């Protein structure tokens, strides 16, 4: 959680704008940051390749909402399984372990986190995108110990 909540000025991120990052196998586009929203929220547009899997993890300081724009994703949280498709919105409260598996067609979704600040973890776990497309497949597995350390520094915990 950040301590930078203040009355924000209006903010606009137009289509094709926003900071683009290659985050593991996904394209993450920071649509609104904590800096833009006075710490109130962060919105990241994530384009995942087919069959991508997010590891089981928990956010200790922020609530996460998934808004599915294209494709499909199975989201599991606290024993609830949701097969989400375009137009569906799934809320995951802080403190609840969750993970997701992307469908065969890939997925494009918004991560909406309150309060803001999640984009800082995305930046610390990613590299600037070479294009607004998902990155090429990685040559090797991520260093999960390093990923866990970065997550912990931002109030998240990898559970498996």
In the chain, what are the domain boundaries?
Answer: 19-129+144-158
Residues 48-83 have pLDDT tens digits of: 999 999 999 999 999 999 999 999 999 999 889 999
Residue corresponding to tokens 């109030």: 155
Residue corresponding to tokens 């724009």: 69
User: How does residue 140 score in pLDDT terms, banded at 50, 70 and 90?
Assistant: confident
Residue 6, pLDDT > 70, answer no
Residues 91-137 have pLDDT tens digits of: 999 999 999 999 999 999 999 999 999 999 999 999 999 999 999 98
Q: In the CATH hierarchy, which fold is given to the domain comprising 19-129+144-158? A: Jelly Rolls (2.60.120)
Q: Which whole number is the average pLDDT over 24-49?
A: 96
| Tokens standing for residue 77 | 């949280």
Query: Cβ contacts of residue 124 below 8 Å, gap of 6+?
Result: 150, 153, 154
Residue corresponding to tokens 């997701």: 100
């Amino acid at each position: 959680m950040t301590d930078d909540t203040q009355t924000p000025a209006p903010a606009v991120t137009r289509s094709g704008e926003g900071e683009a990052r290659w985050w593991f196998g996904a394209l993450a586009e920071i649509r609104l940051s904590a800096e833009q929203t006075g710490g109130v929220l962060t919105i990241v547009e994530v384009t995942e390749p087919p069959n991508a899997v997010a590891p089981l993890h928990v956010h200790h300081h922020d609530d996460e909402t998934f808004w599915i724009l294209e494709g499909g994703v199975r989201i599991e949280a606290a024993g609830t399984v949701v097969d989400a498709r375009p137009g569906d919105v799934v809320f995951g409260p802080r403190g609840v372990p969750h993970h997701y598996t992307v469908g065969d067609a890939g997925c494009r979704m918004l991560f909406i986190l309150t309060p803001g600040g999640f984009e800082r973890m995305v930046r610390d776990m990613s590299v600037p995108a070479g294009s607004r497309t998902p990155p090429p497949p990685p040559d090797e597995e991520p260093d999960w110990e390093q990923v866990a350390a970065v997550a912990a520094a931002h109030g998240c915990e990898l559970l498996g």
